[in-house]
Structure 1
Amino acid sequence: MKLKSKILKDFIVVAVASVLVTMISLSLFFSLATYSVMKDDVKDYGEAVAAFLESSEEKGIEHFFEDSDNYGIIVADENGEIIYDNGIYDVYEQSINAVKNGQLELKVGDKYCYCQKLESGEILIISQEMDSFLDLFNEFIPVTVSVTLIIIFVCVIISSKLTRGIVKPIEEMAIDMEKAPYDELVPFTGMIKEQRQKLDDQMQRVLEAGKIRRDFTANVSHELKTPLTSISGYAEMIENGMAKPEDMQVFGKRIHRESMRLLRLIEDILKISQLESNQVPKDLEDVDIYELCKECRESLDILCEKYGVSIELKGQTAVIKGNRDMLHELIYNLCDNGIRYNHPGGKVFVTIKSPVEQNGVNGVNLIVEDNGIGIDEKHLSRIFERFYRVDKSRSKQTGGTGLGLAIVKHICEQYNGAVSIQSTLGKGTTITVFLPYVQ
Structure 2
Amino acid sequence: MIRKHDDTPVRSMEETISGWMVLIGLASMLLTAVLVSVMFTRTLGDQLVQDLGRQTQVLAAALELSGGGAAELAEMTAGGDVRATLLDEQDNVLYDSQGDDLDNHGDRPEVIQARAEGTGSSRRTSSTFGVNTYYYAMLLEDGRVLRLAAESSELHALYDQAVPAIALALIGVLFFAVAASLLLTRRLVRPIEQMGRDLDDLTAHVPYRELKPFARALEQDRRALREGEQMRQEFTANVSHELKTPLTSISGYAELIENGIAQSADIPVFAGRIRTEAGRLLTLIRDILELSRLDQPMADPQFEPVDLQQVTQNCAKAQALNARKAYVTLSCEGSSQMVRGSRQLLDELCQNLCDNAIRYNRPGGSVVLRTGRGDRGAYLEVEDTGIGIAPEHQLRVFERFYRVDKSRSKATGGTGLGLAIVKHCALLHGGSVELHSHPGQGTRIRVWLPPMV
Paired residue for 1:412, among 419, 426, 446?
426
Q: Hey, what does 2:267 align to over in structure 1?
A: 248
Q: Distance in 2 between matches of 1:7 and 1:286?
A: 55
Higher relative contact order, chain-length normalized (CA < 8 Å, sep 6+): 1
CA contact (8 A) 1:412 1:418 kept: yes
Amino acid at match of 1:135: A
Indicate the RMSD between aligned Cα atoms, in angstroms: 5.0
Aligned pair 1:355/2:373, yes or no? yes
Q: Structure 1, residues 119-141: CA drift from partner, whole Å, max 9, x if none? A: xxxxx997644454432223334
Q: Hey, what does 2:283 align to over in structure 1?
A: 264
Q: Distance in 1 between matches of 2:51 and 2:96?
A: 21
Q: Hey, what does 1:208 align to over in structure 2?
A: 227
Paired residue for 2:75, among 59, 65, 76?
65
Q: Hey, what does 1:373 align to over in structure 2?
A: 387
* CA shift for structure 1 position 229: 2.0
Q: Distance in 2 between matches of 1:379 and 1:19?
A: 75
* CA shift for structure 1 position 40: 4.1
Flag the 1:48–1:131 CA change in 2: closer, same or farther, 3 A. Answer: farther
Q: Structure 1, residues 235-261: CA drift from partner, whole Å, max 9, x if none? A: 222222222111121111111111111
Q: Hey, what does 1:197 align to over in structure 2?
A: 216
Q: Distance in 1 between matches of 2:254 and 2:175?
A: 92
Q: Distance in 2 between matches of 1:244 and 1:69?
A: 142
Which runs of no fewer than 5 residues in structure 2 stay unpaired?
1-13, 87-92, 111-124, 139-145
Q: Which moved more, 1:65-74 or 1:310-319?
A: 65-74
Flag the 1:68–1:413 CA change in 2: closer, same or farther, 3 A. Answer: same
* CA shift for structure 1 position 272: 1.1
Flag the 1:136–1:350 CA change in 2: closer, same or farther, 3 A. Answer: same
Flag the 1:137–1:394 CA change in 2: closer, same or farther, 3 A. Answer: same
Q: Hey, what does 1:282 align to over in structure 2?
A: 301
Aligned length, in residue pairs: 409
CA contact (8 A) 1:42 1:114 kept: no
What TM-score do you get using the length of structure 1 for normalisation?
0.73
Q: Distance in 2 between matches of 1:7 and 1:242?
A: 84
Amino acid at match of 2:264: P
Q: Hey, what does 1:78 align to over in structure 2?
A: none
Secondary structure of residue in 2 paired with 1:430 = strand
Q: Structure 1, residues 83-125: CA drift from partner, whole Å, max 9, x if none? A: 9997xx5x558xx3x5499669762325568999xxxxxxx99
Q: Structure 1, residues 150-181: CA drift from partner, whole Å, max 9, x if none? A: 98999999999999x999x99xx999x9999x
Q: Distance in 1 between matches of 2:438 and 2:39?
A: 93
Flag the 1:338–1:158 CA change in 2: closer, same or farther, 3 A. Answer: closer
Q: Hey, what does 1:137 align to over in structure 2?
A: 159
Flag the 1:290–1:42 CA change in 2: closer, same or farther, 3 A. Answer: same
Paired residue for 1:400, among 389, 399, 414?
414
Flag the 1:410–1:8 CA change in 2: closer, same or farther, 3 A. Answer: closer
Q: Distance in 1 between matches of 2:417 and 2:205?
A: 50
Flag the 1:36–1:67 CA change in 2: closer, same or farther, 3 A. Answer: closer
Q: Hey, what does 1:389 align to over in structure 2?
A: 403
Amino acid at match of 1:378: E
What TM-score do you get using the length of structure 2 for normalisation?
0.71
Which runs of no fewer than 5 residues in structure 1 stay unpaired?
76-81, 117-123
* CA shift for structure 1 position 309: 1.1
